[in-house]
Amino acid sequence: MTDTWWLVAAKAVAVFVFLLLTVLVAILVERRVLAWMQVRVGPNRVGPAGLLQSLVDGVKLALKEGITPAGADRRLYLLAPIISVVPAFMAFAVIPLGGEVSVAGHPTMLQLTDLPVAVLYILAVTSIGAYGIVLAGWASGSIYPLLGGLRSSAQVISYEIAMALSFVTVFLYSGTMSTSGIVAAQHGTWYAFVLAPSFLIYMTAMVGETNRAPFDLPEAEGELVGGFHTEYSSLKFAMFMLAEYVNMTTVSALATTMFLGGWHAPWPINMWDGANTGWWPLLWFAAKVWAFLFLFMWLRATLPRLRYDQFMALGWKILIPTSLAWIMIVATARAVGGGGRTSEWIAAIAGGLLMAAIALAAARTSARSRRSITRRDHAPWHETGGFPVPPLPNRRTLDPIIVIRQEEIDA
């Protein structure tokens, strides 16, 4: 980048304001969308049609009393929210929001900066945010926040690997780790179609990475009261919520950049010659990001929370092995096809076959589980683990169904 200092500062402020406004709007939109999906009334009191609800909530949190537990490690307790929120903003520095525009007569790209390894920078910075959650749970001096922090560390390790592996195929096809280079490589065909398994793996991993439902295990209020931020209040609690929504925006922007052509206009708008010039790309980029944000809200309103063992098994037994197998398939397709359209067709067909095989295996596993549950429901109690009372030693346990039928015969 060759921008002047004032232009760099202006773009940094613009990115910061864009993320803050996106968070304010996303909180309100999520509450209204959840209310619409659950057939109830959402926020409609504060401001016209409830549009000022997010702003008032922020002011309310700022004016609340901040309480620090007596047994907390005060320095780390206060530092943890900062560690969570700062990397969330830093990761957006290398996201391209559009092409070249003119600002006060100075041509500049709608991107704060770019790096040859920009995607690795994003992965590194977003990983630091997990330390804030872990330290928040440990520094609170309470058992339930500690369990939430430990869950978060295991969750990030599991799904960060799957997320990074889903990017490898993108690097193979684009030939670069630069975000602007990856967007330019998708000028003809988006990688969401060519590398569909990578796209699906990333969408699953990004929900787990941001601790959102149905993967919000670190803050499972049903079993951990509130998770890692149970002992936080006032602005410190608001910073954790800010970090969560900024991370949602960041992973949505990264999905747009890596798989949906970035700021390029979708079909059929891209048939217009001026669709990818000027300030129009900023509109297409924002629309794609909001499509992913709506997906987050939809999942929260639709799916129940997974058990922790199911959640970890999904990451280690399904996502990571599938990613490794898919990388080998794409590398082979690139070698056979020579990197042109032929390799894209080979990868697309192989991806479809891989997803069909996974769907078939999932259906067989589900059917086998249902049969196992049916057998367990009709088996005698002593064959299902002795629920609710285990059999005593040297005692014969009768099936209650047989006992009831014998009593009916006797009657």
Contact between residue 194 and residue 346 where contact means Cβ atoms under 8 Å apart: no
pLDDT at 50 over 60: yes
pLDDT at 101 over 60: yes
The answer as to whether 2 is a domain residue is: no
Count: domains in the chain: 1
The answer as to whether 406 is a domain residue is: no
The answer as to whether 348 is a domain residue is: yes
Greatest distance between any 2 Cα atoms in the chain: 99
Q: What is the pLDDT of residue 134?
A: 86
pLDDT at 263 over 70: yes
398 backbone dihedrals φ, ψ, rounded to 5°: -95, 150
> What integer is the mean pLDDT of 360-367?
74
Domain of 281, in residue numbers: 66-370
CA distance readout (Å), 197 to 166, 205, 297, 312, 374: 8, 12, 23, 19, 33
- CA distance linking residue 141 with residue 67, whole number of Å: 13
pLDDT at 245 over 50: yes
CA angle 134/82/97 to nearest 5° reads 105
The answer as to whether 241 is a domain residue is: yes
Q: Which range is least confidently modeled, 18-27, 163-172, 235-244, 338-347?
A: 338-347
Q: What is the pLDDT of residue 364?
A: 77
pLDDT at 94 over 60: yes
Q: Rank 142-146, 261-265, 380-384 by mean pLDDT and report only the highest.
A: 261-265
The answer as to whether 322 is a domain residue is: yes
The answer as to whether 344 is a domain residue is: yes
What residues are paired with 103 via a beta bridge?
106
The answer as to whether 389 is a domain residue is: no
pLDDT at 251 over 90: yes
The answer as to whether 18 is a domain residue is: no
Mean pLDDT of the chain: 84
Q: At 380, is the pLDDT very low, low, confident or very high (cuts 50, 70, 90)?
A: low
